[in-house]
Amino acid sequence: MVVVRGNTSELLKEMGNSLLSEISEASGVFGYSVDESGPELKIELNPDRLDLCSIDLLVSSIQKYNGKPSQESDLKFSGKSLVRVTEEAFRLRPYVGIVVAKGPHIGRMKERLISFQEKLHDTIGKDRSRASIGIHDLGNVRIPFSVDVEDRQKTRMVSYDGMEGTIEDIFKGHEKGVEYASLVNSQNQAIVIRDADGDLMSVPPVINGIKSRISEDTDCFIIDFTGIDFISVRGTIFLISKCLQAMGYAVTIHPVAEGMKVHQLRDFHMRTVEVKKSSIFRLTGHDIPTTSVMSSLVRMGYEVSSEHGAFMVRVPGYRIDVMGEVDVIEDIVKAYGLENIEAKPISIPLFGKPDSMKDFQDTCRTVLIGLQLQEVSSFVVTAEKFYQNLNYLGGVRILNPKSMDNSIVRDRIFPNLLEFLRINKRRSLPLRIFEIGDIFIEEMQQTHLCVMVEESRGDFSAAKKVLDQYMERIVDQKPLIRSSDIEGLIPGRSGTIHVGGKEIGFIGEVHPEFLSFFELQNPVSLLEIRLDLLHEVAGA
């Protein structure tokens, strides 16, 4: 959940005495809860509508819903570039955007703008790793700007709050530097934004310089957007632009060569989504009149026209949550009112049926338990150390795992069962266990059955006996075993299992080196088979 806060008395003075009642009445439509107690207004909402995470944008949406005329100017797209970005900078942050906003002195709205900026950093920006926003006072700097890469050991700067030193000093000594310096993908360099006078304005995505620092007197902004993810940067551009529009600013988006090109943004803004009348009826079970559909869409901030049994809905750029027809229909229902849609019993002309593969797995469990084996369950995500003597074929590794015990997705089950035996090595023998679970081989998911037997005098024949009894009950066929060297098993005492002309798995005796790794002193035999292949044979 996201909490939006504001000083109640200041908001009432700025936006009118009816503000609280309007926010409270619209809570059921936009989906949030309001706490009006105390001097601070608190609004708690889900982060799927990031545009509502700003008080100004929320009030703007409510006013449009209530049919009040908008005082916002249209979003403009300019063909004039205000920034030059070098190839070196693009390699570190390949997406760059520039927005200019002109209007009244920001005053107390400054805190709300910065609060919204940080909410976007935390959400769509993924803590600035995907996208970051730098807000500057255009009155204190000269355009055009340059974005380049410089030596952070040599380049000096003064941070927005007065700390002076090299960029490296700022990274190590300033709280923002300590928090975000790791996002700069270079040990010796940093991206630097300078104005036409050559003065340092910003080191994205870490910290701004003092020259372009905004104040309550700022009435002309220039905002830079940088990041490594196109969709995240695009979203921040439209959300900040809409927030400034709601605050009374005229906003213009400018092009960046090889960065966020204006046509990429213009095409996304007021993009068209076709909503069919039949889809509205199918999803709601209610025939909403055409006039109600169109008025509902306008109240929710869209532009709409009706053509040949469908609605052509134009979606503003700041509505980054709208991905298709279903999202628009959801807004239609919110504005039309759930209370106006008659409840109807659900009628589905279908009958459920069991999944044959799940039924087959349950049959396998029943048979194996009847053969006096105990079922165990281990994790699909497991430790890479189990594979230090095996060739790992899974192809799925966890980036930056919290623990090395959970660093890869397994490609076979038997190492996990050997670990189970290690943990239970004080138990009395024999230990006869099995597991039915998922594995990944070259990023393809499979379901395997692994049976493992540990006995003081056990050998290959222990697993072979279980295999014969199991196959007799499952497919009523005798399995064929062909000698083959299997990783982790003793050569000459291992082989592949064939049933119905298909190779379905392997069987054998665990190699002493592998037993030693798992601290096991008794012989262990095992079999591991692909249940989907066996299921095909059983169903043939």
Q: In this predicted model, what pLDDT tens digit does every residue of 71-93 receive, in sequence order?
A: 888 999 998 999 999 999 988 89
Statement: the pTM of the whole predicted model exceeds 0.75 = no
Q: What is the mean pLDDT of residues 281-306?
A: 94
Q: What's the rounded mean pLDDT across residues 36-53?
A: 84
Structural contact between residues 158 and 194, judged by C-beta atoms closer than 8 angstroms:
no
Q: What is the Cα–Cα distance from 367 to 473, expressed in whole angstroms?
A: 7
Residues near 441 by beta carbon (within 8 Å), at least 6 away in sequence? 393, 394, 395, 411
pLDDT exceeds cutoff 80 at 284: yes
CA gap 145, 53 in Å, rounded: 30
> What pLDDT, on the 0 to 100 scale, is given for residue 291?
94
Domains of the chain: 2-65 (3.30.56.10), 76-268 (3.50.40.10), 271-338 (3.30.56.10), 356-539 (3.30.930.10)
How many other β-carbons are positioned within 10 Å of the β-carbon of residue 222?
A: 25
Computed over every residue of the chain, the mean pLDDT equals: 91
> What digits encode the pLDDT tens for the residues 211-258?
999 999 999 999 999 999 999 999 999 999 999 999 999 999 998 876
**Which residues touch 62 (CB under 8 Å, ≥6 apart)?**
22, 23, 26, 30
- pLDDT digits 0-9 by tens, 164-200: 999 999 999 999 999 999 998 878 899 999 999 999 9
Average pLDDT over residues 346-367: 87
Q: What is the pLDDT of residue 540?
A: 58
To the nearest 10 degrees (0 to 180), the angle between helices 230-246 and 55-65 is 70
Residue 448 to residue 435: CA distance in whole angstroms:
8
